[in-house]
Amino acid sequence: MIPVRGYEGAKVAVLGLGRSGLATARALVEGGAEALVWDDNEAARSRAADEGFTVADLTKAQSFQDVAALIVSPGIPHLYPAPNRVVQLAMDAGVPVDNDIGLFFRSFATDDWDRFDVTPKVIAVTGSNGKSTTSALIHHILCHVNRDAQLAGNIGRGVLDIDPPVDGSVVVLELSSYQTELARSLTPDIAVFTNLTPDHLDRHGGFGGYFAAKRRLFAEGGPDRAVIGVDEVEGQFMANQLAQGPTDDQVIRVSGSRKLAGNDWHVFAKKGFLAEWRKGRQVASIDLRAIPGLPGTHNHQNACAAYAALRPLGLAPKVIEAALHTFKGLPHRSQTIAEQNGVRYVNDSKATNADSAAKALSAFKNIRWICGGLEKEGGLGRVQAQLPNVAKAYVIGREAAAFALHLGDTPLEVCDTMERAVASAAAEAQPGDTVLLAPAAASFDQYDSFEKRGEDFISQVQAVLKA
């Protein structure tokens, strides 16, 4: 646990009592604060009370008398489309609003670090797609070389629930736009921006607000090194804003699809090969094509971002390359779950928007594509260029028929359920085909989460293959 510093003897309110909320309350108490907790869910309040926390109805204005701060969980709106009523009451009372990420950065460093030979580091990863895989890949490589490392934030453990750092520790944080937008303190040593595509636009008042939330990690965080994906204009703009000149190596530009030029520090993948260039000279090359845990150009971009984040820590290219070959991938992200009779079954349930689904579709040929769900803003325009890779689409979800209308002349079957989609796809698949779940939509019309959707896909595939 990371005890929260700066609130000793003060009352701090915590809104939302899921994993991060409870961890925050515990860390506040460990640091000497009094935690006043609230959740609209009665069962969550009851669990917090059983743990000994003071449950205070924060929906009443008088609850913020003598409160030093309100700490908000990521899923609770603090600005758009409208602030949660508790957040609004705190702002009306002049009470600072923060989140667990802000508390972490103000509390992580301690006087104990004076005795360390190697100062602990924080690598923070954000972006629309690939941030989970990039974060996990960085953590995997650090563990492979026996460096003390912890994975936290939007993946792994709650950020305040991790162990205090030891000499040479590295903490790898995956940060969502909800987290970067609200955190009052952001001070990573190395910050990574993977890419930007439309997502969560209702929570940020549009695409510009979404980009601004991501940009805070760099513009206000002031990292020693910034690893920036430049395959979109927003990344190009941010790299340009952060660099002090054409040879500034505090910015490492990354591309997953094209060769980069210039005398700066850059890492790119082209035709399956990762290349590192610095000061106009190539210093390393890695063949990514034979790494099963990183299929497709989108994962090659993730590999480039992870590689670039680790090079400033002194890891050699050959060491990183060896670790890449041992990476198995993450569940629900281009996860190969079975191969039988020449047919590959891949679970990419995390492809919850059109851009991430398009990247999954670009990684394979002869695809039996299981898609559909709760459609997001922006439609399916980004998948259109990859539809030639699709032999047939099998559409699921409560609005499957409406979703299917976006697929044009692509052969398709409206299946409604995962069970029917998997059965049909498996029955029609030929050797060389890939049965791919990449929904291009949220899961909440039929499932509690993308994880539950992916687990159902895995279960249905296993049932079909055993039959």
Q: Which residues are annotated as a binding site for ATP?
A: 127-133
Helix (H, G, I), strand (E, B) or coil at 59: coil
Q: Find the DSSP H helices in 243-364.
A: 296-310, 317-324, 354-362
Ranges assigned E (strand) in 76-116:
97-98
CA dihedral 439, 440, 442, 445 (to 10 degrees): -60
Nearest to 361 by CA among 438, 457, 458: 438
How many whole angstroms separate alpha carbon 261 and alpha carbon 35?
A: 52
H/E stretch holding 122 reads strand 121-126
Tokens encoding 176: 């969502």
What is the Cβ-side half-sphere exposure of residue 463, based on CA atoms within 13 angstroms? Answer: 13
Residues flagged as binding site: 127-133
What is the Cβ-side half-sphere exposure of residue 121, based on CA atoms within 13 angstroms? Answer: 24
Ranges assigned E (strand) in 154-272:
170-174, 190-193, 225-229, 251-255, 265-270
For residues 435 and 426, is the Cβ–Cβ distance under 8 A?
A: yes
For CA atoms 245, 247, 248, 253, give the dihedral sign.
positive
H/E stretch holding 461 reads helix 450-466
The DSSP result for 16-47, as a single string, is --SHHHHHHHHHHHHTTPEEEEE-SSHHHHHH
